[in-house]
Structure 1
Amino acid sequence: TGRDFTTIASMVAVGLGIALVPKSLDCLRLPGVQYRNIRGIQTMSELAIAHRKSELSAAVRAFIKFNRSAVFTHEP
């Protein structure tokens, strides 16, 4: 089994099967690998943002603030 999506796509490229991968992986162009969309299925995924509590970067602080205010975000 592959430990990351790049390894999994590489295994597909050498003929070791097929895989379900995130759409974002289709930027990885490997010889012999074709990416196909699965129609009629809505997929969702949980994401988390990790950051230092004492972050000094204004851009990073703005990004954190934006994500905290987003409707889809919740904090424990």
Structure 2
Amino acid sequence: MEPTNDTPHTDQRLTALEIKASFTEDLLDQLDKVIVRQQQQIDALVREVAALKTGPARDGDVTAGRSLRDELPPHF
């Protein structure tokens, strides 16, 4: 196969595409790590909210049965 005039241009384009693919793979890896970290944070927050909802009643806290109206200052 004889090299043509397009060969250098094709090689440059192929190299450029390989570079873009490499950067894309790196970006995908970074985004994957961000998603994993965010999911861990979401899971922790869900556990925290669940603990806040059920926490005082489990501990036998006296204030568990109180309503928010009981928390109003006396001048209301």
User: TM-score higher than 0.5 here?
Assistant: no
Q: Which has the higher contact order (CA 8 A, sep 6+)?
A: 1
* Between structures 1 and 2, the one with greater helix share: 2
Length-normalised TM-score, structure 1: 0.20
Query: Which structure's CA Rg is the greater one?
Result: 2
What is the TM-score normalised by the length of structure 2? 0.20
